Amino acid sequence: MDTFNNAPELTAETALDYVDWCYFDHTGHHLTDLERQVFLGSWQGQTYEEIYPSNPEYLEKNVAYKLWRKLSQVLGERVHKKHLRGAVMRSHQRQGSWQIAIYHRQSPSDRRLAEELERLLQVFGHRVTRYSVDGIASDKRRHHLGDCGVHLTTVSPRLPSP
């Protein structure tokens, strides 16, 4: 696993997806739209006035204050607007990382499922490689088996041709 200093930077959207899933796992609820807006704006270095010009005081004293408390509880360390990135990066890093191979057929449904699975796994910092089993010879597939710690295969029913 990379050290924090060598870890790739999370995008704002990936970081938001990560904390939203952590919050959901902890509480059974997702962040509200306004909380998501505060998170993204804070991640990008915006002021509360830039995030919510119509009422920045409400945003800071109610929405943001509660969001930082929620995230502090979920991430296991005190979170504030000024050190949001560091807290999220440290939590994300503690989750660990696996090399995961996803095998799928070329059908549109299998490919979409594999793409969505890849996106979700990457949110949690895993390294993912997708392989179309239609395009890889069996001896090459066996070679890939040694490269990854986890192997997933998407399976969807093959419908009979009309």
By residue count, the chain amounts to 162
Domain range for 112 is 99-153
Q: Give exposure, 95-119, as e/b (b: 16+ Cβ within 10 Å).
A: eebeebbbbbbeeeebeebbeebbe
In this structure, are 136 and 123 located in the same domain? Answer: yes
Q: What is the CATH number of the domain that holds 119?
A: 3.40.50
**117 and 61 together in one domain:** no
Same-domain pairing of 69 and 107: no
Count of structural domains within the chain: 2
How far, in Å, CA of 40 to CA of 11, rounded? 10
- pLDDT tens for the chain, 162 residues long, are 333 444 457 889 989 998 998 898 888 899 999 999 999 999 999 999 999 999 999 999 999 999 999 999 988 899 999 999 999 988 887 776 667 778 888 888 888 888 888 888 877 777 777 877 765 544 444 444 444 455 566 666 555 555
Indicate the pTM of the whole model: 0.61
Nearest 5°: the CA angle 8, 141, 103 is: 60
Spatial neighbors of 133 by CB under 8 A, at least 6 apart, are 103, 104, 105, 141, 153
Q: Say if 162 falls within a structural domain.
A: no
The residue from 44, 69, 94 where one domain ends is 94
